[in-house]
Amino acid sequence: MRKIWALNTAALLTVGFCLMSAPALAADIAAGQARAEACQACHGAQGISENPEIPSLAGQQDKFLQWQLVFFRSGRRANEIMGPMAADLTDEDVRNLGAYFASLPAGPPPASEVDPALLQAGEVLAEQHRCAACHTDTFGGKQAAPAIAHQHRDYLVKALADYRSGARPSTGVAAMTEAASGLSDSDIAALAQFLAAYR
Ligand code: HEC
Ligand code: HEC
């Protein structure tokens, strides 16, 4: 008898938990596109930025985009430009913008000169540091781990240096703070070259 009661309680708790964690409202890609007009000047008309210091967002992981916007909004990821841009985004805007940019086709490697020796050094470092374990074998990312292939080299250098210095806190179990902590400046330059030109 007691056992049955326990089972029923467990079942009730499970139902309650499922209701509380019901999936978030579906994102509205069209609304995201409309909201993204404010982003085009810097991130490009199709989410592909032409400025090497501004990341491309096209085809980026939805979850990652949403987290970064929330971090800019709260100031956890402090940035003079993106802080004010994100300040008045609602949770709904964040969901819609994430879905919109994730739905755009990712771009090719940005056009910039490639240093073959640096690229090769970067490939070896990416292997040694197991970057693919989280960013996937093609560096296209998954969930909160972003796509890092075909991102601008200068931006990648800044991102890795910001994690290393602690200027940019990482999510979860501080994955990137740890991953970047042992990298030298030349390691960072090589990894950025390898990822930007990844084929
Ligand atoms: C005035 C230029 C500018 C505008 C407008 C702008 N951004 Fe940005 N955005 C930046 C810069 C610069 C960065 C890189 C910040 C850094 O160095 O960490 C960035 C970073 C981001 C990132 C982080 C991407 C990553 O790979 O880590 C997201 C997401 C983002 N912006 C979304 C948006 C959205 C959505 C809008 C429109 C609502 C927008 N941005 C408008 C300049 C801009
Ligand atoms: C344990 C998992 C893990 C490993 C290993 C890892 N990363 Fe990451 N990486 C992440 C996560 C999660 C994020 C997003 C963190 C955040 O919210 O800022 C990220 C973010 C990044 C970014 C920021 C991209 C952007 O658009 O802003 C770069 C660049 C990056 N990682 C490169 C690397 C490189 C290079 C390596 C190997 C040296 C590596 N990562 C190893 C999980 C990992």
| 47-50 contacts at long range (C-beta below 8 A, 24 or more positions apart) | 47/101, 47/104, 48/107, 49/152
Per-residue confidence (pLDDT) for residue 24, from 0 to 100:
57
Rounded to the nearest angstrom, the gap between the alpha carbon of residue 192 and the centroid of all alpha carbons in its chain is 16
Q: Which of 48, 135, 160, 188 to mutate to test ligand 2, by most ligand atoms within 8 A of the CB atom?
A: 135
When the pLDDT of each residue in the chain is averaged and rounded to a whole number, the result is 90
Residue 171 — very low, low, confident or very high, per pLDDT cuts 50/70/90? Answer: confident
- The burial class, CB within 10 Å (0-12 / 13-18 / 19+), for 199 is exposed
pLDDT tens-digit series, residues 8-54: 444 444 443 434 444 557 899 999 999 999 999 999 999 999 999 99
Q: Is the pLDDT of residue 67 over 90?
A: yes
What's residue 26's pLDDT? 86
For position 18, what pLDDT does the model report? 39
For residue 48, how many other CB atoms are within 10 A of its CB?
18
The model's confidence at residue 95, banded by pLDDT at 50, 70 and 90, is very high
106-148 confidence digits (pLDDT tens): 999 998 899 999 999 999 999 999 999 999 999 999 999 999 9
Nearest-angstrom CA–CA distance, 89 and 37: 13
Ligand nearest to the backbone CA of 54: 1
- Do the beta carbons of residue 54 and residue 43 sit within 8 Å? yes
Statement: residue 71 has pLDDT above 60: yes
Q: Residue 159: pLDDT above 80?
A: yes
Largest CA distance in the chain: 74
The ligand 2 site (C-beta within 6 Å) comprises 55, 67, 126, 129-131, 133-135, 144-146, 148, 151, 156, 159-160, 170-172, 175-176, 179, 191
Residue 193 near residue 153, CB atoms below 8 Å: yes
**What is the C-alpha to C-alpha distance for residues 40 and 23, in angstroms, rounded to an integer?**
30
User: Which two structure tokens, joined as six digits, stand for 31?
Assistant: 């609304």
**pLDDT at site 112:** 87
Separation of CA 184 and ligand 2 centre (Å): 16
Residue type, 114: V
Average pLDDT over residues 76-85: 97
135, HSE (Cβ side, Cα atoms, 13 Å) = 19
- C-alpha–C-alpha distance, residues 76 and 70, integer Å: 8
Distance CA 32, CA 97 (A): 4
CB of 157 closer than 8 Å to CB of 190:
no
Distance CA 74, CA 87 (A): 8
- The residue whose CB lies within 8 Å of the most ligand 2 atoms, and thus the one to mutate among 60, 82, 125, 134, is 134
Q: Of 73, 77, 74, 107, give the one whose Cα is nearest residue 89.
A: 73
Provide mean pLDDT across the span 142-158: 96
